[in-house]
Structure 1
Amino acid sequence: MDLQALRWFQAVADGETVTETARRANITQPVVTRTLARLEKEVGAPLLRRSGRRLYPTAAGRLFKEYADTVLARWDDGLRAVSEFVEPDTGMVPLGFMHTFGTWLVPELISGYLQVHPGARFDLRQDADPALIDTLRSGAVDLAVTAPAPAVPGLHWRWLLTEPLLLAVPPGHRLAGRRRVRLTEVADEPFVVLRTGMGLRTIVEEACREAGFAPRIAFEGDEVATLRGLVGAGLGVSLLPTQQPVPPRGFSASAGAGHGEGAVPLISVTNPAPARQIGLAWFADRPLPPASRAFRDHVLRAWPQ
């Protein structure tokens, strides 16, 4: 089996034209066409069908592509593992994380690691938590910083820290001058929350349920920054991450120092005191390459358990 043929088949099946694939490989279009034809002959079934200028995978092609993707991913993993075995301190760490960790937690994790391994490199992927687990499952990232602990079979999750959630209210709100409130004091207020299925949305709903009410949802958003903006415009209240936990051993005290900036007052909440559990996740049955394993071990040593 020709790995180059698999890569060209993968590219075309993913939507590239044969011309684009040939140009990227710096070869002629007929070479790609003949190589794909040989691959079909070797597999024993038509893998691609033409429609206009493009080729699309047949039913057999879609089936075959799943295995081709796996073969190529494992081959690339093997090359990377050998490279990192020879030079572990310069290896690549594919790291996924939720959007809300991009301004404080992930930079601290990386900067702390680079103090020990200055030659390390990172491939960073941001996403909402449901898609983040899919990215982790596909092998696009080796590790993911997520909250709360995902209920996914085979996924190993280690707690790093507990991050309190604060009540965000519009400027001039009746509670804006308070340092602490009970959650029931906003039971009749409109809430601004993330979309259903996101971890923070689940935590907010559970906290309200524990306080004895169901939140009246006024607006839904995809990012915490959007929620903050909606609250600032007077469109509701929200429970938002502090983005400023106590820093762990070996990391600077500047993490999240700017969480209170802006015009939206943030107030501590009691009865209950909502919080989210943040941790590092990886699939236990998938061996981590040396660089990713070294980063994981460094983080777990640095953060108190």
Structure 2
Amino acid sequence: MHNRISEEITFRKLEVLLAYMETGNLTRAAELLDVSTVSVHRALHSLEEGVRCTLFRHEGRNLLPTDAAQVLAEVARDVLRLMADGITSTRQAGGYAADSIRIGSLYSLTIKTVPTLIMGIKLRKPELQTELILGSNADLLQKLRQGLVDATLMTVPEGEADIESIPLFDDDIYFAAPVGSRYANLDFVDLSACADERFVSLSEGFATYSGFIEAFRIAGFTPNIAMKVGDIFSLMNLVSGGIGCTLLPGRVRDVIPNKVQLIPLQPKFLMRQHIGLNFLRTRERDPNLLALASVCRLSRQALA
């Protein structure tokens, strides 16, 4: 086992040593480090106690470095450089201030939200590379906690103390049916009258699926689900093909197939999704996430 290093030897004191060796003067070293001359003198004396040998000899009011001080200074340069590189590598491994950012998103948010925010972050930080990872709410939340994504665009998770969220917009859920269906001319759909209808849905873990189940709980029956799919675009195509009806968020209106109609639900069945940017509170000072958060706040009006 290596000999234990004295607590008197710290990175900060090694920086003081190098500053003094570079300037040769207590006052100039203090100015370089923005500390007092007394602090510089104490740090040098403390290093001598830590290494247990003389680093400087006095000639009048001057401190002249010994050969031991020269050796320690060379080691200090290597140690500080290696530690600085190690901290950089550690931050990059943790996604902190790296040259890329991994954004997780719901499929439905790639229509408008994702392009708007990526354009915004590119204008703010042109050098930052962006990687997009798609998934369900549950999948993205797990990836966020595992460090596989840096931030997520999804419904804001409730009661998650480790997650910081920035609201973007609220989105209502609509009844989606093939064009020309028996619901076509209704102002509002009463889900409790749809017990005999056939439905299609997203898989478990998607926010829209959770709202789907909750709406039918209020309606008082379990829907007949003909098929489940893993993305909202496939879901819309199933409705377009007449496989069944479903519930969809209003944000898909601009890309919905022309054979699909969105009809409001009766107020008692209304489901509203709160969409936001989400990231771990432990990384709230990450420069890349701060830039993305700023873009989100500026883009709220455009996304609403």
Give your verdict on TM over 0.5. Answer: yes
1:104 to 2:100 alignment: no
SS at match of 1:243: helix
2:213 is paired with a residue whose SS is: helix
Q: Count residues with an aligned counterpart.
A: 216
1:279 counterpart SS class: strand
Write out aligned runs for 1:190-269 (5 A): 190-243=198-251, 258-269=254-265
Partner AA of 2:227 in structure 1: F
Match for residue 176 of structure 1 among 171, 179, 184: 184
1:146-172 C-alpha deviation (Å, 9 max, x unpaired): 125255451223332111112111233
Deviations 1:55-102 (A, max 9, x none): xxxxxxxxxxxxxxxx999625279756x6xxxxxx433211111211
1:219 Cα deviation after fit: 1.3
Partner Cα distance (1:239, 1:73) in 2: 47
Shift of 1:210: 2.1
Matches within 5 A, 1:24-35: none
Q: Is the 8 A contact 1:166 1:269 kept in 2?
A: yes
2:92 counterpart (41, 52, 77): 77
Structure that is richer in helix per residue: 2
Alpha-carbon distance in 1 for matches of 2:260, 2:277: 30
- Check if 1:283 corresponds to 2:280: yes
Amino acid paired to 1:122: T
What is the CA deviation profile of residues 203-240 of structure 1, one whole-angstrom value per residue up to 9, with x for unaligned ones?
Answer: 11112222333322221111111111211222211001
Cα-to-partner distance string for 1:153-197 (whole Å, 9 max, x where unaligned) = 512233321111121112331112334323333233122111123
Contact 2:175–2:264 at 8 Å: present in 1 too?
A: yes
- Deviation of residue 107 (structure 1)? 0.8
Aligned to 2:133: 125
* Structure 1 unaligned blocks of 5 or more: 1-70, 85-90, 245-255
Q: Contact 1:163–1:243 at 8 Å: present in 2 too?
A: yes
Q: Is 1:145 matched with 2:158?
A: no
Alignment of 1:85-104 (within 5 A): 91-104=99-112
Alpha carbons 2:156, 2:165 under 8 Å: kept? no
What is the alpha-carbon distance in structure 2 between the residues aligned to residue 175 and residue 184 of structure 1?
Answer: 13
**Contact 2:96 2:283 (C-alpha < 8 Å) held by counterparts:** no
Structure 1 length-normalised TM: 0.62
Match of 2:49 in 1: none
Name the amino acid aligned to 1:291: N
**Structure 2 counterpart SS, 1:188:** coil
% identical aligned pairs: 25
Query: 5+ unaligned residues in a row in structure 2: which ranges?
Result: 1-85
SS at match of 1:135: helix
Q: Residues 286, 111 of structure 1: CA spacing in aligned structure 2 closer, same or farther, 3 A cutoff?
A: closer
Letter of the 1:203 counterpart: G
Q: CA RMSD in A?
A: 2.9
